[in-house]
Amino acid sequence: MIKLVVTDIDGTLLDDKKNLSPDFWKTVEQLARKNIIFSVASGRQYYTLEHQFARIAADMLFLAENGTYVVYQNRELFTEPLDLAAARDFIKIGRTITDAYPILCGKNSAYVENDEEQFIAATRHYYERYLRVNDLLKVEDTILKVTLFDFHDAEKNAYPHFKPYERRYKIAPAGKRWVDITSLIANKGSALRRVQRQLGISPDETLVFGDYLNDMEMMSEATYSYAMKNAHPEIIKAAKFVTERDNNDHGVVATIRDLCL
């Protein structure tokens, strides 16, 4: 019996226009009546997710910032920070990449040092709390992640600059425009595994959905691991199942209804 449903957001739960399924709210209400926990696991900031799901946030599990900041029922369960000195080194590299902009993701806020209009529009969409600062290297906060927003293909443009650091840090393309850098042990999968232990929920009782490379580790932590029909080929290989519908046809909600309701 499934007790925990965990889904990525962009390219997974949301369609390409960033809309939820018309059946989403009814579906999560029905899950709650069956005592099934609904969770989102996203590279998005916790405050953004909390705002987006405000109607049910008090009952939700959030694996935010790729699992570096985890909150359940408005209570922080744990944080997996990134070393501040390393974060500053990655910011320096990010500054050198053409048409890519670094974002320093802290526990209290996200921080940017560029006010280019298109970049700020993208940042505002994913970060409910962000501050424009003169120098990211002078920010003092508990750092969760360094993110690069890339106006080109992040997997081809920004990602290769950080690939040499993969033995010591988790470097993951997180969609067409993003590369996320966290502690080596921080990812959605390790966060999910830790949550399962704390809540007494097994992989056999867990259903997960993902579409991109920052969902990779999560696929191995659930018996019911689903890649979206529209997922990156590597996620389709890693998952046990593939949804019959893609994100634009709201495959997550359709699969939840088939399996759980």
**Domains of the chain, each with CATH number or no CATH:** 4-79+186-260 (3.40.50.1000), 84-183 (3.30.1240.10)
Average pLDDT over all residues of the chain: 96
**pLDDT at residue 175 in the model:** 83
Instruction: Return the structure tokens found at 58.
Output: 């008090």
What would the two tokens of residue 69 be? 């900041």
CA distance 131 to 74: 23
- For 199-255, write each residue's pLDDT tens digit: 999 999 999 999 999 999 999 999 999 999 999 999 999 999 999 999 999 999 999
List all residues 6 or more positions away from 24 whose beta carbon is below 8 Å from its beta carbon.
Answer: 13, 250, 253
Choice between 117 and 3, residue whose per-residue pLDDT is larger: 3
Check pLDDT > 90 for residue 99.
yes
Euclidean distance between CA atoms 223 and 243, whole angstroms: 15
CA–CA dist 128, 153 (Å, integer): 24
To the nearest whole percent, how much of the chain has pLDDT over 90?
Answer: 94
- The whole-number pLDDT of residue 187 equals 96
Q: Which amino acid, one-letter code, is at 25?
A: W
- Amino acid identity of residue 220, one-letter, is S
The structure tokens 């320096």 sit at 92
Summarize the confidence of residues 166-195 as an average pLDDT: 95
Distances (CA, A) of 184 to 35, 68, 171, 188: 33, 11, 8, 12
Start-end of H helices in 34-131: 46-52, 84-95, 117-126
Instruction: Give me the percent of the chain exceeding a pLDDT of 70.
Output: 100
Nearest alpha carbon to residue 217 among 246, 253, 174, 259: 174
Backbone angles phi, psi at 7, to 5 degrees: -135, 140
Give the pLDDT band of residue 125 (cuts 50, 70, 90): confident
Which pLDDT does position 124 carry in this prediction?
A: 86
- Two tokens at 242? 């593939």
The yes-or-no verdict on residue 87 having pLDDT over 90 is yes
